[in-house]
Amino acid sequence: MINWFKFASPASFYPLAGKLWPWFAALATAFCAAGLWISFFVAPTDFQQGEGYRIIFIHVPASWMSMFIYCVMAFWAAIGITFNTRLSGMMSAALAPTGALFAFLSLWTGALWGKPMWGAWWVWDARLTSELILFFLYLGYIALTSAIDDPRRADKAGAIVALVGVVNVPIIYFSVKWWNTLHQGASVSLTKAPSMATTMLWGMLLMALAFWMYSIAMSLYRVRAIILEREHHAGWVAELPEMQR
């Protein structure tokens, strides 16, 4: 049985994260190479959308990850508030930029896909709008935590924002969805052709795995930097081999 609480201490998590992140980075590269190969060379051309559809191999996994990372952030926030552990706040802070990046990527690729398919860079579709709001929530979290100087206070305040946000995400999603149906918006739908070729699905899943591994690798890497920054006065940091140089 592993004693999980052992790794709740930054001093013991720092070396663990250091050992783990190269593995996740390697996995991300491998999955990304396989996923891109399938999506560009193996997956057939869509008979309706032509080659342009291939952007969904980036777009869909990015949207999934942006939502998933917000949930993970809220999870660490809840752990941090319940157990008052320092590392949880650092994990939340480390995840937020990656999540915001994926939300932005999803909006950006969505716009690039929308122009040739719908003839518009942006439509006020329920999913687009709620993704945009999710992006704003990430920005709010990052802005608040970076405006507070005391890191412990920043973590706790950020935790409340993340938790309030995660409660609101479904409410916002459904309100935007009903708003959209009331307005009878542009009559376009994001639903793809019902039978997606299996190779396409594989490409998308591989890319999702690649993004997932990338997020883990990046957040571990970033949490190491955060730990060093906050614990620079601690004895164990001074004894690290990378500090001897």
Partner 1 sequence: MNAFVAIVRRDLLLAARRKSEVLTALFFFMIVVSLFPLGIGPETAMLRRIAPGVLWVAALLAAMLSLNRLFATDHQDGTLEQMALSPTPLAVLVSGKVLAHWLTSGLPLVLLAPVLGLQFDLSARALGVLMISLLLGTPILSLIGAIGAALTLGVRGGGVLLSLLVLPLYIPALIFGAGAVEADVAGLGAGGHLSLLGALLALGVFFAPWAATAALRIALD
**Contacts to partner 1 by CB under 8 A:** 81, 133, 136-137, 139-140, 143-144, 147-149, 153, 156-157, 160-161, 163-165, 167-168, 171-172, 175-176, 178-179, 182
Nearest to 105 by CA among 75, 69, 73: 69
Smallest gap, in angstroms, from Cβ of residue 139 to partner 1?
Answer: 7
Q: Distance of CA 27 to CAs 103, 212, 217, Å? A: 22, 10, 9
Comparing CB distances to partner 1, the nearer of 61 and 80 is: 80
Comparing CB distances to partner 1, the nearer of 161 and 207 is: 161
Smallest gap, in angstroms, from Cβ of residue 169 to partner 1?
Answer: 10
Smallest gap, in angstroms, from Cβ of residue 218 to partner 1?
Answer: 24
By the 10 Å C-beta count (0-12 exposed, 13-18 middle, 19+ buried), 110 is classed as: buried
Smallest gap, in angstroms, from Cβ of residue 96 to partner 1?
Answer: 14
Comparing CB distances to partner 1, the nearer of 112 and 169 is: 169
**Residue 130: how many other CB atoms lie within 10 Å:** 20
Smallest gap, in angstroms, from Cβ of residue 98 to partner 1?
Answer: 20
Q: Quote the CA–CA distance of 118 and 115 in Å, as a whole number.
A: 6
Comparing CB distances to partner 1, the nearer of 32 and 163 is: 163
Name residues whose C-beta falls within 8 Å of residue 244's C-beta, 6 or more positions apart in sequence. Answer: none
Nearest to 170 by CA among 106, 215, 126, 108: 126
**Residue 233: how many other CB atoms lie within 10 Å:** 7
Comparing CB distances to partner 1, the nearer of 133 and 227 is: 133
